[in-house]
Amino acid sequence: MGDTEVLADVVKVAIAVPLSQVFDYLPIGELSAYQTGCRVLVSFARRKVVGVVVGHGQPSVAISKVKSVEQLLDTAPLVPKDIVELIQWAAGYYHHPLGEAWATALPVALRRAEFKAPKEPVVYRPTKAGAEDCSTLLKRAPAQAGLLAFLSESPLPRSAAECRLHDTGWSAPMKQLIAKELVETVRSGLPAELARDRVKHSPELNSEQSSAASAIRKNLHHFYAQLLYGVTGSGKTEVYIDAARPVIEAGKQVLILLPEIGLTPQLLSRIQSALACRVELSHSGLNDSERFLAWQAARKGEATVLIGTRSAVFTPMPQLGLIVVDEEHDGSLKQQDGFRYHARDLALVRARASNIPVVLASATPSLESLHNAAKGQLELHKLNKRAGAAKGPGLSLLDSRSAHTENGVSGELLGRMNEVLARGEQVIIFINRRGFAPVLMCEACGSMTDCNHCDAHMTIHARSRSLRCHHCGASRSIPRACLHCESTDLLHVGVGTERVDEYLTEKFPDYQVLRIDRDTTSRKGELQRHLAMAASGEAQILVGTQMLAKGHDFPNVTLVGILDADQGLFSADFRSIEQMGQLIVQVAGRAGRAEKPGHVIVQSRSPDHPLLQTLLQEGYGPFTDHLLTERKDALWPPYVHIALLRSDSAVAGEARAFLQQVKEWLSASGSEHIKQITIMGPADAPMERLGGRHRAQLLLMSASRKPLHQLLATMRPALEKNPAARKIRWSLDVDPHDML
Ligand code: ADP
Ligand code: ZN
Ligand code: ZN
């Protein structure tokens, strides 16, 4: 009897399609060869696709209808059990199809059946001659000199990917350096012996840093979730580097997650020189092969440290001993489309399952983490002082309604800039809006130029002479006359980075202005090049968007001007004030990092706003205390658990009607969980029309997590089968980062 059942067993395969179910296939050969975590090639909807084996079992349809696997692609599972379980857990928690979760978790290259693992590429290091002072020799070859200096900074050889981040045109100067025998190539993947005696000594930790580091060091052998809350420049990185040392000495691995690829090269150099071990990077700036190789090195235990963005949380690391999530408050750690997971939250889940410590670090922790620290779920380590000799910046708040401003810049700020620049120091002007001006308005009739596809004004981009929608990307030329009344008196209302750049260039002809925003750094390697120009002092005035706010270290910046601090105060989103506060504190933190004291000028059109006052006068701590109280009173996360069902359609009203149907269906379902859940909406999204689609959302909210998740667990498969739901686009977002 048992025999027939065994014969009928099929392989359960997860396939990257938006359906929660897994699919049955008959094995060719031994069923036991189909281990969970092996890839298979199968035919699905008349295509050949790569799926992942997630188990065995009885077929869910008649066995005669089950197709055979085309090919078993791996002889052993690609990922170990802990990662299989993490992916499974995440797909369950976010109520997302398992196949898509797998597709996110594995390197893209592995989704192709014909993918052949590339050879480990060579890496580059200076020869003995190259390690000497070559400045005279390379006087006329600045690109070579720069590249050689970049190689010399690191105790370990550098990869092509790192060199490319340093300089997109790296390959010609590298050939020259090799021809001159100043640089040699070695095979990558070699261990720490490669480190020459160039290991830089880390600064001696101050007493706050030491006590945080020793608290982390005391708890390296079990699950221990910690929040390292230290003001900008307090030396958080040095703390976790110090805590990582014994982990690495014990032969274990360290995973460091970051929100942004722009931050990885800087951290890579620091970690490599402090720990002298093999460090791999994983981020979207790498090509598929490079990403695969980093993943492979971590998975084989050859890479000791992996620094990566979001999806690196799924990387197999057999010896994993510590996870760090830096800038844990940053929204980019949550994926905003497809499989909407939060890398910080999954890092906590992974650390618990692996019984290892995890450190969340930030100068401006999220309200979630502060709340968890208050509840004792995160152990709090605080760093209140800046490290070394650096002093915290002085702050002044300027009323930009009455103060005289020209192109968004007040006279007082200009005066301060003059002083600072004359002393040979640098200035950051922060404005969270790119382009020249956000609105083109007709002076005669008051009409504004709006996007045809979105509920949004089009931004003026003067240099490219175009109007662009920052939401859908639509673009057209700037009209000469008003489309309504034909008047030619068109006003450029408001300011963006381009306008401030232009104005300051004219105002300070003796200084170099550098603009850092998405428009000037869209090409690969440009962000790195811009940041290097800023760090070297080649440019003295840095004008930028939030790209400038994120953890970069510019020790010579002593003045920061924030032009539009209050943008976040009046947004429709529950998280926007929190984000505004984080941004202001992070930008302000760029001032006065070294021995020189810094100053921050915050221009605001609502300087009396109590939350802004609290933030600037009392600091981030009291500011978040207020916000937490507000969230508690208004029943928002972290005091309640929410999920958002979004829908959009080309036809007005359709998405809303669909969500209304879902709501009625949920209410009528008689589910016992429904009583514990508040359903709000359906409502139009804050920007109802985006890219020509009409958007609506339904908010599900519950004081405890369980009933909400039980409801979602039945809702998702029901929606997948529902004929109305199949005709319309919808998505589910658990713990949404924003409601926009
Ligand atoms: P954070 O991550 O908290 O912003 P970092 O770790 O980047 O701070 O440190 C900021 C700066 O202070 C870096 O240039 C770092 O080298 C320096 N630094 C950190 N700790 C010390 C220390 N104990 N003594 C001297 N300088 C330090
Ligand atoms: Zn007009
Ligand atoms: Zn648009």
Q: Which ligand is nearest to the CA of 448?
A: 2
Instruction: Over range 94-123, report the average pLDDT.
Output: 88
Model confidence pLDDT, tens digit, residues 110-131: 988 888 877 777 788 898 888 8
Instruction: Over range 73-85, report the average pLDDT.
Output: 94
pLDDT value for 314: 98
3-class secondary structure for 113-143? Answer: CCCCCCCCCEEEEECHHHHCCCCCCCCCCHH
Same domain, 609 and 692: no
Q: What is the CATH number of the domain that holds 573?
A: 3.40.50.300
Same domain, 525 and 652: no
Alpha carbon distance 543, 382 (integer Å):
31
Smallest CA-to-CA distance from 595 within 385, 387, 424, 389 is with: 389
Instruction: Over range 3-10, report the average pLDDT.
Output: 60
Label residue 169 by pLDDT band (50, 70, 90): confident
For 404, phi then psi, to 5°, come to -75, 115
Question: Does residue 166 form part of some domain?
Answer: yes
Higher confidence at residue 233 or residue 543? 543
Smallest CA-to-CA distance from 549 within 585, 579, 577, 603 is with: 585
Q: Is the CB of 210 under 6 A from ligand 1?
A: no
Strands (E) across 626-692 are located at: 641-649, 677-690
Name, in order, each residue with C-beta under 8 angstroms of 485's C-beta and a sequence gap of 6 or more. 442, 444, 445, 447
Same domain, 263 and 285: yes
Alpha carbon distance 584, 366 (integer Å):
14
Q: What is the CATH number of the domain that holds 685?
A: 3.30.70.600
Label residue 189 by pLDDT band (50, 70, 90): very low
Question: Does residue 361 form part of some domain?
Answer: yes
Question: Does residue 197 form part of some domain?
Answer: no
Alpha carbon distance 131, 431 (integer Å):
42
Smallest CA-to-CA distance from 601 within 412, 426, 408, 401 is with: 412
Same domain, 32 and 126: no
Strands (E) across 632-671 are located at: 641-649
Q: Which of 238, 241, 386 to mutate to test ligand 1, by most ligand atoms within 8 A of the CB atom?
A: 238
Atom of ligand 1 nearest to the CA of 234: 3
Label residue 197 by pLDDT band (50, 70, 90): very low
Alpha carbon distance 591, 595 (integer Å):
11
Q: Which of 387-391, 480-484, 553-557, 731-735 has the highest mean pLDDT?
A: 731-735
Domain closes at, from 111, 144, 175: 111
Number of domains in the chain: 5
Label residue 200 by pLDDT band (50, 70, 90): low
Q: What percentage of the chain has pLDDT greater than the value 70?
A: 95
Question: Does residue 469 form part of some domain?
Answer: no
Alpha carbon distance 185, 591 (integer Å):
40
Ligand 2 centre from 606 Cα, in Å?
Answer: 30
Edge-to-edge strand ranges of the sheet holding 541-544:
394-399, 599-604, 557-562, 426-430, 541-544, 513-516
Q: Report helix, strand or coil for 4.
A: helix
Question: Do residues 478 and 536 make contact, with C-beta atoms less than 8 angstroms apart?
Answer: no
> Nearest 5 degrees, angle CA 298-CA 303-CA 305?
95
Q: What is the mean pLDDT of the chain?
A: 89
Ligand 1 centre from 237 Cα, in Å?
Answer: 7
Alpha carbon distance 5, 51 (integer Å):
24
Q: Which of 237, 324, 587 to mutate to test ligand 1, by most ligand atoms within 8 A of the CB atom?
A: 237
CB atoms inside a 10 Å sphere around CB 133? 7
Same domain, 153 and 241: no
| Residue 720: domain span | 641-734
Question: Does residue 107 form part of some domain?
Answer: yes
Question: Does residue 627 form part of some domain?
Answer: no
Ligand 2 centre from 444 Cα, in Å?
Answer: 5
Same domain, 247 and 355: yes
- Beta bridge mates, 450: 457
Same domain, 599 and 539: yes
Please classify residue 367 by burial: count the beta carbons closer than 10 Å to its beta carbon, then call 0-12 exposed, 13-18 middle and 19+ buried: buried
Question: Do residues 158 and 183 make contact, with C-beta atoms less than 8 angstroms apart?
Answer: no
Alpha carbon distance 235, 213 (integer Å):
11
Same domain, 557 and 598: yes
Alpha carbon distance 244, 250 (integer Å):
10
Which of 161-170, 252-261, 448-457 is predicted with the least confidence, judged by mean pLDDT?
161-170
Q: Which ligand is nearest to the CA of 239?
A: 1
Instruction: Please report, in angstroms and rounded to a whole number, the separation of the first and last CA atoms in the chain.
Output: 57
Which of 340-344, 402-406, 517-521 is predicted with the least confidence, judged by mean pLDDT?
402-406
Please classify residue 200 by burial: count the beta carbons closer than 10 Å to its beta carbon, then call 0-12 exposed, 13-18 middle and 19+ buried: middle
Residue 567 has pLDDT above 80, yes or no: no
Model confidence pLDDT, tens digit, residues 355-406: 999 999 999 999 999 999 999 999 999 998 887 666 667 888 888 887 778 9
What is the pTM (predicted TM-score) of this model?
Answer: 0.88
Question: Does residue 488 form part of some domain?
Answer: no
> Nearest 5 degrees, angle CA 358-CA 360-CA 362?
160
Q: Is the CB of 579 under 6 A from ligand 1?
A: no
Q: What is the CATH number of the domain that holds 105?
A: 3.40.1440.60
Same domain, 94 and 176: no
Residue 167 has pLDDT above 60, yes or no: yes
Q: Which of 2-6, 195-199, 588-592 has the highest mean pLDDT?
A: 588-592
Question: Does residue 324 form part of some domain?
Answer: yes
Rg (CA), the chain: 28
Locate 567 and state its tokens.
Answer: 């943008």
Which of 11-25, 275-289, 337-351 is predicted with the least confidence, judged by mean pLDDT?
275-289
Model confidence pLDDT, tens digit, residues 139-166: 888 889 989 988 888 777 888 888 888 8
Q: Are strands 426-430 and 466-468 parallel, antiparallel or unpaired?
A: unpaired
For 240, phi then psi, to 5°, come to -80, -25
Domain closes at, from 83, 111, 139: 111
Question: Do residues 478 and 468 make contact, with C-beta atoms less than 8 angstroms apart?
Answer: no
Q: Is the CB of 233 under 6 A from ligand 1?
A: yes
Question: Do residues 61 and 21 make contact, with C-beta atoms less than 8 angstroms apart?
Answer: no
pLDDT value for 669: 77
Instruction: Over range 572-581, report the average pLDDT.
Output: 87
Same domain, 685 and 548: no
Same domain, 231 and 292: yes
Same domain, 33 and 101: yes
